[in-house]
Structure 1
Amino acid sequence: MESVSVQEFSRTLFTIRPDIALSVAQTVFQSDVRSLLPLITAPCHIVQSTKDLAVPVAVSEYLHKHLGGVSIVEVMPSEGHLPQLSSPEIVTPVLLRHIQHDIAS
């Protein structure tokens, strides 16, 4: 939470109108699209924080097992749901490595 990026993101969340925030939260938490996962055949790099209270590691493992195409999972030693904001020094090298790695071949 010390990151300026995380603080700014948090600040913007609190400026969202409550009715809109409720609608977005309901959509996110009440949607279940697991049945569509086998239809996704594009190669997928799944990047996951070690400690994410919103999305535990088991979710990335589930995605990996149920996607219709090839996928790989990398669990990063980071905390939080937005590691690109809280731990960019960890996320950036991981993303660059995945951009350069063609898992489809």
Structure 2
Amino acid sequence: MIGILASIRHPELFTKLVLVGASPRFLNDSDYHVGFKRGKVEGVLSAIEADFDAWVNGFAPLAVGADVPDAVREFSRTLFNMRPDISLFVSGTYFNSDLRGILGLVKVPSCIIQTARDMSELASVATYLKDHLCGRNTVEELHTNGHLPHLSSPTLFTTKLHRTLSR
């Protein structure tokens, strides 16, 4: 989503966006039902605040895909390198942001990469982005688990990324 903001501000610097697991909003509202309910987000933020270590140990396998233990360990290590208060602040900002209103300002084509099974994001988010970003947009599905395909399936991800960038 930061790439989207940057491409709006300086479109001359971009020829294409590759959006991996991107979401303009994580909370459902009356006309947007591809995110989380408010109670779920509050539960996640409470879990981070109450017991950061337990949250990391539960979240990392879901985010990466439990079937890739080395990648789960590496992702856990990076999370444990963050101060819990900063992680809580970043997560709160992330979950409470709403960038739907600016999607139409994007002028460069976008390739939206979505994993087949992502605990953080429904596949319909990719469709929403495709339909609301200006320009020529495509959706590419990766047949893998997790929200972080560069960790869960790096070979599959880099193959798809290479194909996307060479078009």
**What's the TM-score, normalizing by structure 2?**
0.58
| Aligned equivalent of 2:165 | 99
Match of 1:31 among 80, 91, 97: 97
Verify: 1:8 aligned to 2:65, yes or no. no
**What's the TM-score, normalizing by structure 1?**
0.89
| Aligned equivalent of 1:50 | 116
- Structure 2: state its 5+ residue gaps: 1-65
- Structure 1: state its 5+ residue gaps: none
In structure 1, distance between residues paired with 2:118 and 2:109: 24
* Number of residue pairs aligned between Structure 1 and Structure 2: 101
In structure 2, distance between residues paired with 1:10 and 1:37: 32
Identical-residue share of aligned pairs (%): 44
Question: Pairwise CA RMSD of aligned residues?
Answer: 1.2
Verify: 1:67 aligned to 2:133, yes or no. yes
Question: Could you tell me whether the CA contact under 8 Å between 1:40 and 1:69 is conserved in 2?
Answer: yes
Q: Which runs of at least 4 in structure 1 moved beyond 6 Å after TM superposition?
A: none
Cα deviation, 1:64-90, whole Å, max 9, x if unaligned, reads: 000011110011101100011111121
